[in-house]
Amino acid sequence: MTDDTRTLRFYADRAKIYAQHRKRPAVRRLDGFLALLPAGARILELGCGNGMDAQYMLAQGFEVDATDGTPGMVDVARTRIGERARVMRFEDLDAIDAYDGVWASASLLHVPAAGLPDMLTRIHQALRPGGVFVASFKGGTGEGRDHMGRYFNYPSAAGLEAAYRASGWSDLSLETNMGSGFDTLPTQWLWMTARR
């Protein structure tokens, strides 16, 4: 699995601008995720962006390891959460039984489609038994780039579920909703909740 250079460059060049497009944490989704975890649980955030979600989880009393593959985004996140934010690319995840939860809001959608099963396996291994994993993806019919040059894996609901099952996940719940993103275009979001 390899991170996409063009996509990483997009976020590196626009870290501060991108960080400003989101004004509040995904409270409803975060509250649903956190309710599935024990008090004070240890959480890995993949793609922490501006640190807003990590800040919210920390305020609720959780231990958060906030990571992002773009140093500029980590710098922005550190203005909110200090040294709890660190640079880590997806492919560098090698933790075993280390976390109670993994939160990946609008981040794994950049993992190359061919590498998604490997990434999902890594997350499965990083969770402790019973751990919970929530991730969101832009739904679609197959990988491609948006008009800004960013790579997306654009899975269908059935394709996403198949990728999870191929990676050892069995307890799955998928929700969809219409929304938008940095590009302001109408977007079908796929929210997958999985338990190890």
Angle at CA 129, nearest 5°, toward 35 and 160? Answer: 75
**Digitized pLDDT (tens) for each residue of the chain, 196 residues in all:** 345 788 877 777 776 776 666 667 789 999 999 999 999 999 999 999 999 999 999 999 999 999 999 999 999 999 999 999 999 999 999 999 999 999 999 999 999 999 999 999 999 999 999 999 999 999 999 999 988 888 999 999 999 999 999 999 989 999 998 876 666 667 899 999 999 9
pTM of the model: 0.90
Q: Of the CATH numbers 4.10.320.10, 3.40.50.880, 3.40.50.150, 3.40.50.300, which one belongs to the domain with range 5-195?
A: 3.40.50.150
* Residue ranges of domains in the chain: 5-195
